[in-house]
Structure 1
Amino acid sequence: MKKYLVSAALIALMAACGGETEKKEESEKPAEPAVTDVSANPDYKAGLALIAKSDCLTCHKVAEKLIGPAYQDVANKYAGQDTAIAYLSKKIIEGGSGVWGAIPMSAHPQLAQADVEQMVKYILLLKTN
């Protein structure tokens, strides 16, 4: 009987040691780069909240052209440009046409400059390429 218990204990010990080696090898693998979730960005949250309270979604969608361009298209076009926030903020407040076609964007002079800049920061975070 003791032989069976000793044998079972040795088998269990070898299995435990073998399993540990596998776990150790797995933990030694290089970690894959983390995927960034822009929705955790404070600019994303603040900008989204301001856009939700405005009339922007009447003419724009995130990924599809509606009356105006998709936010992702705007983000892709202006990504990396140092003047993008100032330029797009001015376009939102003053309105305009010609950049995305003949249909003009109505002016939004009632919006505060700081709020519009926050909206633009949100839009620029939607860059896809």
Structure 2
Amino acid sequence: MSEKKPKRQIIAIDFDGTVCKYPRFVSPGNIPFEPIDGAKEALETIHKYFRIVIFSVRANNETGKKAIIDWMTENQIPFDDVTDRKPHSVLYIDDNAIRFEGDWKKTLKDISEVQHYSKSKK
């Protein structure tokens, strides 16, 4: 009898602005942008230890979901699933997030200091 491999935990990763450059929205089924520098290599490393679920509002219909799957495949970036919802996971990677550390005053301060990285490169 073969041993059952332990199920890998999930890391959920946002698509637009995290894996794929995202200067502007075109349409759910049209992704004419390049991968963010280092994304492919990072996801290859993550995929050795975790399942990768890509999440994006773009995937809320079959056209958008297929576009993400095709883009990830064409760019040879590993993933296990694509969804339009944040799945239960051990970690989320998202370009539009603030880490909550149990202190709402600090969180409000963090919000007031946010400057999105794509806007800070102008």
Does the pair score TM above 0.5?
A: no
TM-score range, shorter chain: under 0.3
TM-score, normalised with respect to structure 2 = 0.22
- Structure with larger RCO (C-alpha < 8 A, sep 6+): 2
TM-score, normalised with respect to structure 1 = 0.22
Q: Greater share of strand residues, 1 or 2?
A: 2
Larger-Rg structure: 1
Q: Greater share of helix residues, 1 or 2?
A: 1
